[in-house]
Structure 1
Amino acid sequence: MSVNRENVRVYISNILGGLGETDRHIAEFILQQPAKVAQMPVRKLAETVQLSEATIVRFCKKIGYTGLLELKAALKRELLEESDLLLPSSPDIFLDDTRNDVAQKIALTVDTTMKETIGLLDMKVVKPVVERFLRANRVLFVGFGASGLSAMEARDKMNRQGIDSEAYTDRFTMTLKLANLKPTDLVVAFSHSGETPEVVNAFRLAKKAGAECLAITHSPQSPLTELADSWLLTCGSAGPYQGDSIATRISQLFIIEFLCTEVTRHNLRDSVSTGLSIKELLIKERIKHESTG
Protein backbone atom coordinates (compact mmCIF):
# COMPACT_ATOMS: atom_id res chain seq x y z
CA MET A 1 0.00 0.00 0.00
CA SER A 2 1.43 3.32 -1.03
CA VAL A 3 1.30 6.53 0.96
CA ASN A 4 1.72 10.15 -0.01
CA ARG A 5 5.42 10.87 0.51
CA GLU A 6 5.54 14.15 -1.39
CA ASN A 7 5.15 16.00 1.92
CA VAL A 8 8.53 14.69 2.98
CA ARG A 9 8.93 16.37 6.35
CA VAL A 10 5.39 15.58 7.51
CA TYR A 11 5.82 11.96 6.43
CA ILE A 12 9.22 11.50 8.09
CA SER A 13 8.05 13.25 11.24
CA ASN A 14 5.08 10.88 11.38
CA ILE A 15 7.15 7.68 11.16
CA LEU A 16 10.03 8.92 13.34
CA GLY A 17 8.95 7.07 16.47
CA GLY A 18 8.94 3.72 14.70
CA LEU A 19 12.47 3.95 13.33
CA GLY A 20 15.56 2.27 14.77
CA GLU A 21 18.38 4.32 16.28
CA THR A 22 20.45 4.61 13.09
CA ASP A 23 17.50 5.41 10.83
CA ARG A 24 16.17 7.91 13.37
CA HIS A 25 19.54 9.68 13.36
CA ILE A 26 19.30 10.13 9.57
CA ALA A 27 15.66 11.17 9.72
CA GLU A 28 16.29 13.77 12.42
CA PHE A 29 19.11 15.30 10.38
CA ILE A 30 16.80 15.56 7.35
CA LEU A 31 14.16 17.27 9.48
CA GLN A 32 16.69 19.68 10.97
CA GLN A 33 18.53 20.50 7.71
CA PRO A 34 16.11 19.86 4.80
CA ALA A 35 17.60 22.52 2.49
CA LYS A 36 21.13 21.24 3.08
CA VAL A 37 20.14 17.60 2.52
CA ALA A 38 18.37 18.53 -0.74
CA GLN A 39 21.72 19.68 -2.15
CA MET A 40 23.98 16.97 -0.72
CA PRO A 41 25.43 14.07 -2.71
CA VAL A 42 25.19 10.74 -0.92
CA ARG A 43 28.88 10.75 -0.03
CA LYS A 44 28.67 14.16 1.64
CA LEU A 45 25.53 13.23 3.55
CA ALA A 46 27.15 9.99 4.74
CA GLU A 47 30.20 11.89 5.98
CA THR A 48 28.05 14.47 7.76
CA VAL A 49 25.95 11.95 9.68
CA GLN A 50 28.96 9.65 10.10
CA LEU A 51 27.38 6.63 8.46
CA SER A 52 28.09 4.64 5.32
CA GLU A 53 26.63 5.49 1.92
CA ALA A 54 24.94 2.08 1.83
CA THR A 55 23.21 2.87 5.12
CA ILE A 56 21.83 6.11 3.66
CA VAL A 57 20.50 4.30 0.58
CA ARG A 58 18.95 1.53 2.69
CA PHE A 59 17.24 4.15 4.85
CA CYS A 60 15.71 5.85 1.79
CA LYS A 61 14.39 2.54 0.46
CA LYS A 62 13.12 1.46 3.87
CA ILE A 63 10.89 4.54 4.15
CA GLY A 64 9.55 4.12 0.63
CA TYR A 65 11.81 6.02 -1.79
CA THR A 66 13.82 4.42 -4.58
CA GLY A 67 16.94 6.10 -3.23
CA LEU A 68 18.42 9.39 -2.07
CA LEU A 69 17.83 11.05 -5.45
CA GLU A 70 14.06 10.59 -5.22
CA LEU A 71 13.98 11.73 -1.61
CA LYS A 72 16.00 14.86 -2.47
CA ALA A 73 13.77 15.62 -5.46
CA ALA A 74 10.70 15.49 -3.22
CA LEU A 75 12.44 17.72 -0.68
CA LYS A 76 13.36 20.26 -3.36
CA ARG A 77 9.78 20.41 -4.64
CA GLU A 78 8.49 20.92 -1.13
CA LEU A 79 11.00 23.65 -0.31
CA LEU A 80 10.36 25.49 -3.57
CA GLU A 81 6.60 25.42 -3.14
CA GLU A 82 6.60 26.18 0.57
CA SER A 83 9.88 27.97 1.16
CA ASP A 84 8.63 29.60 4.33
CA LEU A 85 6.85 26.54 5.75
CA LEU A 86 8.26 25.07 8.95
CA LEU A 87 7.76 21.49 9.98
CA PRO A 88 4.30 21.41 11.57
CA SER A 89 4.40 20.94 15.32
CA SER A 90 1.92 21.23 18.17
CA PRO A 91 2.42 24.44 20.16
CA ASP A 92 3.50 24.01 23.77
CA ILE A 93 1.17 25.25 26.49
CA PHE A 94 2.76 26.98 29.49
CA LEU A 95 1.43 27.55 32.99
CA ASP A 96 1.53 31.34 32.55
CA ASP A 97 -0.44 31.30 29.28
CA THR A 98 -3.73 33.18 29.30
CA ARG A 99 -6.92 31.20 28.79
CA ASN A 100 -7.21 32.74 25.34
CA ASP A 101 -3.64 31.59 24.55
CA VAL A 102 -4.55 28.04 25.59
CA ALA A 103 -7.70 28.07 23.46
CA GLN A 104 -5.82 29.44 20.45
CA LYS A 105 -3.03 26.85 20.78
CA ILE A 106 -5.50 23.97 20.98
CA ALA A 107 -7.28 25.34 17.90
CA LEU A 108 -3.93 25.57 16.10
CA THR A 109 -3.19 21.95 17.05
CA VAL A 110 -6.49 20.85 15.50
CA ASP A 111 -5.82 22.86 12.32
CA THR A 112 -2.28 21.51 12.00
CA THR A 113 -3.53 17.96 12.57
CA MET A 114 -6.07 18.25 9.75
CA LYS A 115 -3.45 19.57 7.33
CA GLU A 116 -0.92 16.88 8.28
CA THR A 117 -3.52 14.12 7.87
CA ILE A 118 -4.39 15.38 4.39
CA GLY A 119 -0.67 15.54 3.61
CA LEU A 120 -0.27 11.87 4.49
CA LEU A 121 -3.19 10.70 2.33
CA ASP A 122 -2.35 9.10 -0.98
CA MET A 123 -5.48 9.99 -2.95
CA LYS A 124 -4.82 7.22 -5.48
CA VAL A 125 -5.58 4.54 -2.91
CA VAL A 126 -8.80 6.12 -1.60
CA LYS A 127 -10.98 4.93 -4.51
CA PRO A 128 -10.20 1.19 -4.10
CA VAL A 129 -10.69 1.52 -0.34
CA VAL A 130 -14.12 3.12 -0.84
CA GLU A 131 -15.06 0.45 -3.39
CA ARG A 132 -14.15 -2.22 -0.84
CA PHE A 133 -16.57 -0.63 1.66
CA LEU A 134 -19.32 -0.71 -0.96
CA ARG A 135 -18.66 -4.35 -1.90
CA ALA A 136 -18.48 -5.68 1.65
CA ASN A 137 -21.29 -7.80 3.01
CA ARG A 138 -20.47 -6.43 6.48
CA VAL A 139 -17.93 -3.95 7.80
CA LEU A 140 -16.55 -4.66 11.26
CA PHE A 141 -14.70 -1.83 12.99
CA VAL A 142 -12.36 -2.71 15.85
CA GLY A 143 -10.46 -0.51 18.27
CA PHE A 144 -9.30 -0.68 21.86
CA GLY A 145 -9.30 2.14 24.43
CA ALA A 146 -9.51 5.60 22.84
CA SER A 147 -9.43 4.09 19.34
CA GLY A 148 -12.55 2.15 20.30
CA LEU A 149 -14.44 5.45 20.30
CA SER A 150 -13.38 5.99 16.69
CA ALA A 151 -14.53 2.46 15.82
CA MET A 152 -18.00 3.21 17.23
CA GLU A 153 -18.15 6.58 15.45
CA ALA A 154 -17.25 4.90 12.16
CA ARG A 155 -19.89 2.21 12.71
CA ASP A 156 -22.64 4.79 13.27
CA LYS A 157 -21.66 6.90 10.27
CA MET A 158 -21.36 3.95 7.89
CA ASN A 159 -24.69 2.52 9.03
CA ARG A 160 -26.27 5.86 8.10
CA GLN A 161 -24.71 5.40 4.65
CA GLY A 162 -26.55 2.10 4.31
CA ILE A 163 -23.44 -0.01 4.89
CA ASP A 164 -24.06 -2.82 7.39
CA SER A 165 -21.50 -2.08 10.10
CA GLU A 166 -20.61 -3.26 13.60
CA ALA A 167 -18.01 -2.14 16.13
CA TYR A 168 -16.11 -4.20 18.72
CA THR A 169 -14.07 -2.53 21.43
CA ASP A 170 -13.21 -5.26 23.95
CA ARG A 171 -11.04 -8.36 23.74
CA PHE A 172 -13.79 -10.92 24.42
CA THR A 173 -16.28 -9.56 21.87
CA MET A 174 -13.60 -9.13 19.20
CA THR A 175 -12.49 -12.75 19.56
CA LEU A 176 -16.04 -14.11 19.70
CA LYS A 177 -17.49 -12.15 16.78
CA LEU A 178 -14.49 -12.24 14.45
CA ALA A 179 -14.33 -16.02 14.72
CA ASN A 180 -17.38 -16.11 12.41
CA LEU A 181 -16.02 -13.86 9.66
CA LYS A 182 -16.55 -14.56 5.97
CA PRO A 183 -14.39 -13.61 2.97
CA THR A 184 -17.04 -11.05 1.96
CA ASP A 185 -16.51 -9.10 5.20
CA LEU A 186 -14.21 -6.13 5.70
CA VAL A 187 -12.41 -5.57 9.01
CA VAL A 188 -11.25 -2.00 9.73
CA ALA A 189 -8.88 -1.55 12.67
CA PHE A 190 -8.05 1.67 14.50
CA SER A 191 -4.75 1.67 16.38
CA HIS A 192 -2.48 4.68 16.77
CA SER A 193 0.60 2.58 17.50
CA GLY A 194 -0.31 -0.30 15.21
CA GLU A 195 0.78 -2.62 18.03
CA THR A 196 -2.36 -2.98 20.19
CA PRO A 197 -2.43 -6.76 20.86
CA GLU A 198 -6.22 -7.07 20.79
CA VAL A 199 -6.47 -5.28 17.45
CA VAL A 200 -3.55 -7.14 15.88
CA ASN A 201 -5.16 -10.40 16.95
CA ALA A 202 -8.40 -9.27 15.30
CA PHE A 203 -6.51 -8.95 12.02
CA ARG A 204 -5.03 -12.43 12.47
CA LEU A 205 -8.54 -13.84 12.83
CA ALA A 206 -9.68 -11.86 9.80
CA LYS A 207 -6.81 -13.15 7.66
CA LYS A 208 -7.54 -16.71 8.75
CA ALA A 209 -11.15 -16.29 7.57
CA GLY A 210 -10.09 -14.72 4.27
CA ALA A 211 -11.64 -11.33 5.05
CA GLU A 212 -10.00 -8.12 3.85
CA CYS A 213 -8.25 -5.86 6.38
CA LEU A 214 -7.91 -2.07 6.40
CA ALA A 215 -5.69 -0.44 9.05
CA ILE A 216 -6.09 3.17 10.14
CA THR A 217 -2.91 3.86 12.07
CA HIS A 218 -0.10 6.29 12.80
CA SER A 219 2.62 3.75 12.05
CA PRO A 220 3.30 2.48 8.51
CA GLN A 221 5.76 -0.08 9.90
CA SER A 222 3.95 -2.09 12.55
CA PRO A 223 2.46 -5.54 13.22
CA LEU A 224 -0.92 -4.17 12.12
CA THR A 225 0.21 -2.91 8.71
CA GLU A 226 2.13 -6.14 8.11
CA LEU A 227 -1.20 -7.98 8.28
CA ALA A 228 -3.27 -5.32 6.51
CA ASP A 229 -4.31 -5.51 2.86
CA SER A 230 -4.37 -1.71 2.82
CA TRP A 231 -3.85 1.12 5.28
CA LEU A 232 -4.37 4.85 5.76
CA LEU A 233 -2.11 6.96 7.97
CA THR A 234 -3.19 9.25 10.77
CA CYS A 235 -0.98 11.76 12.56
CA GLY A 236 -0.67 13.16 16.08
CA SER A 237 1.31 12.03 19.10
CA ALA A 238 -0.23 9.71 21.65
CA GLY A 239 0.27 11.39 25.01
CA PRO A 240 -1.66 12.38 28.12
CA TYR A 241 -1.11 16.15 28.09
CA GLN A 242 -1.90 19.26 26.06
CA GLY A 243 -3.05 18.74 22.47
CA ASP A 244 -1.51 15.31 21.93
CA SER A 245 -4.59 13.14 22.50
CA ILE A 246 -6.96 15.50 20.71
CA ALA A 247 -4.66 15.51 17.68
CA THR A 248 -4.74 11.70 17.48
CA ARG A 249 -8.52 11.64 17.88
CA ILE A 250 -9.13 14.41 15.37
CA SER A 251 -6.95 12.65 12.79
CA GLN A 252 -8.95 9.42 13.12
CA LEU A 253 -12.26 11.28 12.94
CA PHE A 254 -11.10 13.13 9.84
CA ILE A 255 -10.34 9.85 8.07
CA ILE A 256 -13.81 8.54 9.01
CA GLU A 257 -15.54 11.67 7.74
CA PHE A 258 -13.51 11.65 4.53
CA LEU A 259 -14.33 8.00 3.76
CA CYS A 260 -18.03 8.49 4.52
CA THR A 261 -18.14 11.55 2.27
CA GLU A 262 -16.50 9.57 -0.54
CA VAL A 263 -19.11 6.82 -0.09
CA THR A 264 -21.85 9.46 -0.35
CA ARG A 265 -20.30 10.94 -3.49
CA HIS A 266 -20.12 7.48 -5.05
CA ASN A 267 -23.78 6.81 -4.28
CA LEU A 268 -24.84 10.13 -5.82
CA ARG A 269 -22.52 10.03 -8.84
CA ASP A 270 -25.35 9.20 -11.27
CA SER A 271 -27.41 12.19 -10.21
CA VAL A 272 -28.28 14.51 -13.11
CA SER A 273 -27.94 17.53 -10.79
CA THR A 274 -24.17 17.49 -10.68
CA GLY A 275 -24.03 21.24 -10.07
CA LEU A 276 -25.61 20.86 -6.63
CA SER A 277 -23.73 20.32 -3.40
CA ILE A 278 -23.93 16.99 -1.58
CA LYS A 279 -26.17 18.62 1.05
CA GLU A 280 -28.60 19.82 -1.62
CA LEU A 281 -28.60 16.43 -3.35
CA LEU A 282 -29.31 14.63 -0.07
CA ILE A 283 -32.24 16.97 0.64
CA LYS A 284 -33.65 16.24 -2.83
CA GLU A 285 -33.26 12.49 -2.26
CA ARG A 286 -35.02 12.77 1.10
CA ILE A 287 -37.91 14.74 -0.39
CA LYS A 288 -38.22 12.20 -3.24
CA HIS A 289 -38.25 9.32 -0.75
CA GLU A 290 -40.89 10.96 1.48
CA SER A 291 -43.14 11.79 -1.48
CA THR A 292 -43.09 8.18 -2.73
CA GLY A 293 -43.20 6.58 0.70
Structure 2
Amino acid sequence: MCEIPENFLTSDLVHHPRCDKPKFDLSLHNTVSSKLWAHARFMFVFENGDLNLAAHYLAERMHEPFEPFPFACVAVQQSVRDDFIERVRSRFHQVKPHVAMHPNFERSLNELKMGNVKYVVAKNENAPPFASPILVTDNVIHLFFSSSPSGVVTLKSFNTILEAQKIYTMETLAFDVVHIFDESITSVYTLASAITSIQLYVNCVDVCTMPILPYYGMRQCRALLHDGYHFETLELNGIWRIIVFPYTTTLVHACICPKGQCTCNADNKVCVG
Protein backbone atom coordinates (compact mmCIF):
# COMPACT_ATOMS: atom_id res chain seq x y z
CA MET A 1 0.00 0.00 0.00
CA CYS A 2 1.27 3.48 -0.87
CA GLU A 3 2.14 5.69 2.07
CA ILE A 4 0.87 9.28 2.12
CA PRO A 5 3.85 11.65 2.40
CA GLU A 6 4.03 13.86 5.46
CA ASN A 7 3.87 17.06 3.40
CA PHE A 8 0.73 16.00 1.47
CA LEU A 9 -1.74 18.87 1.14
CA THR A 10 -5.10 17.34 2.09
CA SER A 11 -8.52 18.69 1.11
CA ASP A 12 -9.23 19.27 4.82
CA LEU A 13 -6.18 21.52 5.06
CA VAL A 14 -7.35 23.44 1.98
CA HIS A 15 -10.92 24.01 3.18
CA HIS A 16 -10.15 24.33 6.91
CA PRO A 17 -6.75 26.02 7.15
CA ARG A 18 -5.09 25.98 10.57
CA CYS A 19 -2.43 28.23 12.01
CA ASP A 20 -0.37 25.55 13.67
CA LYS A 21 2.94 24.21 12.40
CA PRO A 22 2.85 23.68 8.60
CA LYS A 23 3.18 20.17 7.23
CA PHE A 24 5.87 21.20 4.77
CA ASP A 25 8.99 23.35 4.85
CA LEU A 26 9.17 25.91 2.05
CA SER A 27 12.69 26.86 3.08
CA LEU A 28 13.89 23.70 1.34
CA HIS A 29 12.74 25.00 -2.04
CA ASN A 30 13.41 28.05 -4.15
CA THR A 31 10.24 30.10 -4.61
CA VAL A 32 12.00 33.22 -5.88
CA SER A 33 10.67 34.53 -9.18
CA SER A 34 12.77 33.02 -11.98
CA LYS A 35 14.19 35.39 -14.59
CA LEU A 36 15.31 33.08 -17.40
CA TRP A 37 14.12 29.88 -19.01
CA ALA A 38 16.53 27.04 -18.20
CA HIS A 39 16.81 25.26 -21.55
CA ALA A 40 13.14 24.88 -22.51
CA ARG A 41 11.90 21.82 -24.40
CA PHE A 42 9.40 21.39 -27.25
CA MET A 43 7.38 18.28 -28.09
CA PHE A 44 5.80 17.16 -31.39
CA VAL A 45 3.19 14.40 -31.19
CA PHE A 46 1.93 12.76 -34.40
CA GLU A 47 -1.10 10.50 -34.72
CA ASN A 48 1.11 7.44 -35.25
CA GLY A 49 3.33 8.18 -32.28
CA ASP A 50 3.18 6.51 -28.87
CA LEU A 51 0.58 8.74 -27.19
CA ASN A 52 0.91 7.04 -23.81
CA LEU A 53 4.67 7.49 -23.59
CA ALA A 54 4.44 11.11 -24.76
CA ALA A 55 1.60 11.91 -22.33
CA HIS A 56 3.35 10.22 -19.41
CA TYR A 57 6.64 11.99 -19.96
CA LEU A 58 4.99 15.39 -20.49
CA ALA A 59 2.71 15.12 -17.45
CA GLU A 60 5.52 14.02 -15.14
CA ARG A 61 7.71 16.96 -16.15
CA MET A 62 4.82 19.39 -15.72
CA HIS A 63 4.73 18.65 -11.99
CA GLU A 64 8.16 20.29 -11.60
CA PRO A 65 7.98 23.13 -14.16
CA PHE A 66 10.82 25.17 -12.64
CA GLU A 67 13.45 22.47 -12.80
CA PRO A 68 16.08 22.69 -15.58
CA PHE A 69 14.93 21.60 -19.05
CA PRO A 70 11.18 22.17 -18.52
CA PHE A 71 8.62 21.56 -21.24
CA ALA A 72 7.14 24.81 -22.53
CA CYS A 73 5.20 23.84 -25.67
CA VAL A 74 3.66 20.82 -27.36
CA ALA A 75 2.28 20.53 -30.90
CA VAL A 76 -0.19 17.68 -31.44
CA GLN A 77 -1.69 16.39 -34.66
CA GLN A 78 -5.34 17.45 -34.83
CA SER A 79 -6.69 13.91 -35.25
CA VAL A 80 -5.44 12.90 -31.78
CA ARG A 81 -5.59 16.29 -30.02
CA ASP A 82 -8.52 15.61 -27.68
CA ASP A 83 -7.34 12.07 -26.95
CA PHE A 84 -3.85 13.28 -26.08
CA ILE A 85 -5.13 16.08 -23.84
CA GLU A 86 -7.21 13.60 -21.87
CA ARG A 87 -4.27 11.21 -21.52
CA VAL A 88 -2.13 14.01 -20.14
CA ARG A 89 -4.86 15.28 -17.81
CA SER A 90 -5.53 11.80 -16.40
CA ARG A 91 -1.90 11.75 -15.23
CA PHE A 92 -2.12 15.05 -13.36
CA HIS A 93 -1.86 14.99 -9.59
CA GLN A 94 -1.26 17.64 -6.96
CA VAL A 95 1.92 19.65 -7.40
CA LYS A 96 4.13 20.26 -4.39
CA PRO A 97 3.73 23.48 -2.38
CA HIS A 98 6.95 25.01 -3.72
CA VAL A 99 5.39 24.85 -7.19
CA ALA A 100 1.85 25.96 -6.32
CA MET A 101 3.22 28.90 -4.30
CA HIS A 102 5.90 29.88 -6.80
CA PRO A 103 5.34 33.54 -7.82
CA ASN A 104 5.65 32.72 -11.54
CA PHE A 105 3.10 29.92 -11.24
CA GLU A 106 0.62 32.08 -9.32
CA ARG A 107 1.07 34.93 -11.79
CA SER A 108 0.47 32.66 -14.80
CA LEU A 109 -2.73 31.27 -13.29
CA ASN A 110 -4.01 34.79 -12.59
CA GLU A 111 -3.15 35.93 -16.13
CA LEU A 112 -5.03 32.98 -17.60
CA LYS A 113 -8.11 33.76 -15.54
CA MET A 114 -8.09 37.49 -16.30
CA GLY A 115 -7.36 36.92 -19.98
CA ASN A 116 -10.22 34.43 -20.35
CA VAL A 117 -7.84 31.89 -21.86
CA LYS A 118 -8.78 28.21 -22.11
CA TYR A 119 -6.67 25.79 -20.09
CA VAL A 120 -6.87 22.32 -18.54
CA VAL A 121 -6.09 21.30 -14.96
CA ALA A 122 -6.44 18.04 -13.03
CA LYS A 123 -9.80 16.58 -12.13
CA ASN A 124 -11.05 17.80 -8.76
CA GLU A 125 -10.54 14.41 -7.14
CA ASN A 126 -6.88 14.42 -8.16
CA ALA A 127 -5.86 17.98 -7.25
CA PRO A 128 -7.37 21.39 -6.47
CA PRO A 129 -7.24 23.81 -9.44
CA PHE A 130 -4.65 26.09 -7.80
CA ALA A 131 -2.28 23.17 -7.14
CA SER A 132 -2.48 21.35 -10.46
CA PRO A 133 -0.26 21.34 -13.55
CA ILE A 134 -1.64 23.71 -16.19
CA LEU A 135 -2.01 22.86 -19.88
CA VAL A 136 -3.03 25.90 -21.95
CA THR A 137 -5.16 24.83 -24.92
CA ASP A 138 -6.00 28.27 -26.31
CA ASN A 139 -4.19 30.03 -29.15
CA VAL A 140 -1.52 31.86 -27.11
CA ILE A 141 2.26 31.76 -27.16
CA HIS A 142 4.56 32.15 -24.17
CA LEU A 143 4.97 35.85 -24.82
CA PHE A 144 1.55 36.06 -23.15
CA PHE A 145 3.28 35.20 -19.86
CA SER A 146 6.25 37.59 -20.31
CA SER A 147 9.80 36.32 -20.80
CA SER A 148 10.30 34.43 -17.53
CA PRO A 149 9.43 30.75 -16.94
CA SER A 150 5.65 30.54 -16.76
CA GLY A 151 5.23 27.15 -15.06
CA VAL A 152 2.66 26.12 -17.69
CA VAL A 153 2.72 24.29 -21.03
CA THR A 154 1.00 25.60 -24.15
CA LEU A 155 -0.60 23.13 -26.57
CA LYS A 156 -1.51 23.73 -30.21
CA SER A 157 -2.67 21.38 -32.97
CA PHE A 158 -1.58 20.90 -36.58
CA ASN A 159 -2.64 18.93 -39.62
CA THR A 160 0.52 19.06 -41.74
CA ILE A 161 4.24 19.16 -41.04
CA LEU A 162 4.32 22.71 -42.39
CA GLU A 163 1.78 23.75 -39.76
CA ALA A 164 3.84 21.99 -37.09
CA GLN A 165 6.92 23.97 -38.17
CA LYS A 166 4.98 27.26 -37.92
CA ILE A 167 3.91 26.46 -34.35
CA TYR A 168 7.57 26.00 -33.43
CA THR A 169 8.78 29.18 -35.16
CA MET A 170 5.99 31.34 -33.69
CA GLU A 171 7.27 30.76 -30.17
CA THR A 172 9.71 33.28 -28.72
CA LEU A 173 11.75 30.76 -26.73
CA ALA A 174 15.03 29.16 -27.76
CA PHE A 175 14.41 25.42 -27.46
CA ASP A 176 17.52 23.39 -26.70
CA VAL A 177 15.78 20.03 -26.97
CA VAL A 178 12.94 18.75 -29.14
CA HIS A 179 11.08 15.48 -28.64
CA ILE A 180 9.26 13.90 -31.58
CA PHE A 181 6.82 11.03 -31.22
CA ASP A 182 6.11 9.53 -34.63
CA GLU A 183 6.66 6.20 -36.38
CA SER A 184 7.60 7.88 -39.67
CA ILE A 185 11.29 8.73 -39.70
CA THR A 186 10.83 10.98 -42.76
CA SER A 187 8.84 13.50 -40.73
CA VAL A 188 11.73 13.69 -38.27
CA TYR A 189 14.27 14.83 -40.85
CA THR A 190 11.75 17.19 -42.45
CA LEU A 191 11.20 18.85 -39.08
CA ALA A 192 14.89 18.80 -38.21
CA SER A 193 15.76 20.79 -41.33
CA ALA A 194 13.20 23.47 -40.50
CA ILE A 195 13.87 24.12 -36.79
CA THR A 196 16.89 25.46 -34.95
CA SER A 197 17.14 23.06 -32.01
CA ILE A 198 20.30 21.00 -31.77
CA GLN A 199 19.13 17.87 -29.91
CA LEU A 200 16.24 15.81 -31.28
CA TYR A 201 14.95 12.75 -29.40
CA VAL A 202 12.63 10.52 -31.40
CA ASN A 203 10.30 8.15 -29.51
CA CYS A 204 12.57 8.25 -26.47
CA VAL A 205 13.37 10.37 -23.44
CA ASP A 206 16.43 11.40 -21.43
CA VAL A 207 18.96 9.37 -23.37
CA CYS A 208 22.61 10.03 -22.56
CA THR A 209 24.30 11.52 -25.65
CA MET A 210 27.87 10.94 -24.47
CA PRO A 211 28.58 8.30 -27.16
CA ILE A 212 28.00 10.82 -29.97
CA LEU A 213 29.23 14.06 -28.34
CA PRO A 214 32.89 13.74 -29.47
CA TYR A 215 31.77 13.65 -33.12
CA TYR A 216 29.42 16.56 -32.58
CA GLY A 217 32.26 18.54 -31.01
CA MET A 218 34.46 17.84 -34.06
CA ARG A 219 31.56 18.69 -36.40
CA GLN A 220 31.91 15.28 -38.00
CA CYS A 221 29.04 13.33 -39.55
CA ARG A 222 28.68 10.05 -37.75
CA ALA A 223 26.10 7.35 -37.02
CA LEU A 224 26.48 4.66 -34.37
CA LEU A 225 24.48 2.16 -32.33
CA HIS A 226 24.80 2.02 -28.57
CA ASP A 227 22.66 0.40 -25.84
CA GLY A 228 19.60 0.03 -28.07
CA TYR A 229 19.76 3.51 -29.59
CA HIS A 230 20.75 4.98 -32.93
CA PHE A 231 22.84 8.13 -32.54
CA GLU A 232 23.86 10.41 -35.37
CA THR A 233 25.34 13.82 -36.06
CA LEU A 234 24.63 15.73 -39.27
CA GLU A 235 24.50 19.26 -40.59
CA LEU A 236 21.15 20.61 -41.74
CA ASN A 237 20.78 24.17 -43.02
CA GLY A 238 24.08 25.19 -41.47
CA ILE A 239 23.28 23.80 -38.01
CA TRP A 240 24.85 20.64 -36.58
CA ARG A 241 22.30 18.32 -34.98
CA ILE A 242 22.23 15.30 -32.73
CA ILE A 243 19.41 12.86 -33.48
CA VAL A 244 18.64 9.91 -31.21
CA PHE A 245 16.04 7.16 -31.55
CA PRO A 246 15.63 3.56 -30.35
CA TYR A 247 16.37 0.83 -32.89
CA THR A 248 14.85 -2.02 -30.87
CA THR A 249 11.32 -3.24 -31.58
CA THR A 250 10.11 -2.06 -28.18
CA LEU A 251 10.39 1.59 -27.15
CA VAL A 252 13.24 1.94 -24.72
CA HIS A 253 12.44 3.76 -21.51
CA ALA A 254 13.44 3.93 -17.88
CA CYS A 255 12.71 0.95 -15.68
CA ILE A 256 9.32 1.18 -13.97
CA CYS A 257 9.46 -2.13 -12.09
CA PRO A 258 9.00 -2.02 -8.28
CA LYS A 259 12.27 -1.71 -6.42
CA GLY A 260 13.90 -5.11 -6.03
CA GLN A 261 11.44 -6.76 -8.45
CA CYS A 262 12.93 -5.79 -11.81
CA THR A 263 12.18 -8.20 -14.66
CA CYS A 264 13.92 -6.20 -17.39
CA ASN A 265 16.28 -7.66 -19.92
CA ALA A 266 19.65 -6.33 -18.75
CA ASP A 267 21.31 -6.80 -22.14
CA ASN A 268 18.70 -4.97 -24.21
CA LYS A 269 17.89 -2.33 -21.56
CA VAL A 270 14.18 -2.78 -22.31
CA CYS A 271 11.77 -2.36 -19.43
CA VAL A 272 8.86 -4.79 -19.53
CA GLY A 273 7.31 -3.67 -16.26
> Normalised by the size of structure 2, how large is the TM-score?
0.30
Which structure features the higher share of strand residues? 2
Which structure features the higher share of helix residues? 1
* Largest Rg, 1 or 2: 1
